């Protein structure tokens, strides 16, 4: 089945700093890839997604590009804000021969804290 | 408003008691999921259902049971056989079978067993 490995946290940045959170995946084929964000005490919200190689997902200043050569989907933002403080999860779905397309597989999450 | 509703938000139970967590969706989604979240471990899949009256075990199904009698509802029972039930439980739904579609999450239920 799929697996997802993402950068261990916590990550602490100052406001307006550049953010990168690394994510790599393993799958026998080409899964769809997602970034979710979780604010304290809440469920997960979809941040962005990419469904095929070289696709770039973007939302709220965040971007991630699906790189099949490096099996990666790194999350970036050029200038973070205090309100971006949250836990970020990378996830994959499908792309396994004979496997289920129903299951989302998550990384362990990366806690981001942005200080003013 | 369309969405996924989990209730209650906080739940306390004594050790040895079964407890049922509610999850309802009005998004007309075929697939529903239960995940467990523990600090530092990300989300782990407990059970999922692709369609009414059908469900499959996820990665950590032991000590849990589910039912899917209606499309809108997917309750999770945490039984006394679950050795470490204290956790944050997240329900999700989605269109399921299509690889490029995301899951939508509820606000979660924090279960504490004392």
- On the question of pLDDT at B42 being above 90, the answer is no
Beta carbon pairs, A and B, within 8 Å: 62
**Are B48 and A103 in contact (CB < 8 Å)?**
yes
What Cα–Cα distance (Å) separates residue A26 from each residue in A4, A34, A71, A73?
6, 14, 7, 11
Please, where are the H alpha helices in A1-116? none
Q: What residues of chain A have any CB closer than 8 angstroms to a CB in chain B?
A: 31-32, 34, 36, 41-46, 49, 51, 89, 93-95, 101-109
Query: How many CA atoms, within 13 angstroms, populate the side-chain half-sphere of residue A23?
Result: 29
Task: Choose the closest CB to B90 out of A31, A44, A95.
Answer: A44
Residues B99 and B39 sit within 8 Å (Cβ to Cβ): no
Chain B residue nearest residue A38, CA to CA:
B107
Alpha carbon B19 to chain centroid, angstroms = 12
- B1 has a pLDDT exceeding 70: no
Q: From the CA of A16, how many Å to the nearest CA of chain B? A: 27
Q: Write out the two tokens for B70.
A: 């209606």
Q: How confident is the model at residue A100 (pLDDT cuts 50, 70, 90)?
A: low
pLDDT for A34-88, tens place per residue?
Answer: 999 999 888 999 999 999 999 999 999 999 999 999 999 999 999 999 999 999 9
Q: Which residues of A touch B105 (CB under 8 A)?
A: 36, 43-45
Which residue in B13, B32, B3 sits closest to A103, CA to CA? B32
Residues B64-110: pLDDT tens digits?
999 999 999 999 999 998 889 999 999 999 986 666 688 899 999 99
pLDDT at A74: 98
- The reported pLDDT for the residue numbered A41 is 85
CA distance B39 to A116: 26
State yes or no: pLDDT of A97 exceeds 60: no
């Amino acid at each position: 089945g799929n697996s997802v490995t993402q950068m261990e946290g916590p990550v602490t940045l100052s406001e307006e700093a550049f953010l990168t959170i690394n994510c790599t995946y393993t799958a026998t084929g080409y899964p769809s890839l997602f970034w979710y964000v979780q604010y304290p005490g809440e469920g997960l919200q979809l941040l962005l997604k990419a469904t095929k190689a070289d696709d770039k997902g973007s939302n709220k200043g965040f971007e991630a590009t699906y790189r099949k050569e490096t099996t990666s989907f790194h999350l970036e933002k050029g200038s973070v804000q205090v309100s971006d403080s949250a836990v970020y999860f990378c996830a994959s779905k499908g792309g396994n021969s004979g496997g289920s397309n129903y299951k989302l597989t998550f990384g362990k999450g990366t806690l981001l804290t942005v200080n003013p | 408003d369309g969405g996924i509703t989990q209730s209650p938000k906080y739940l306390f139970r004594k050790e040895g008691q079964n407890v049922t967590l509610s999850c309802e969706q009005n998004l007309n989604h075929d697939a529903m999921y239960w995940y467990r979240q523990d600090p530092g471990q990300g989300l782990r899949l407990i059970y999922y259902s692709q369609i009414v009256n059908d469900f499959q075990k996820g990665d950590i199904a032991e000590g849990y049971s589910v039912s899917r009698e209606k499309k809108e509802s997917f309750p999770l029972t945490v039984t006394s056989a679950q050795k470490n039930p204290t956790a944050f439980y997240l329900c999700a739904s989605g269109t399921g079978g299509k690889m490029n579609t995301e899951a939508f999450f509820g606000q979660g239920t924090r279960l504490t067993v004392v």
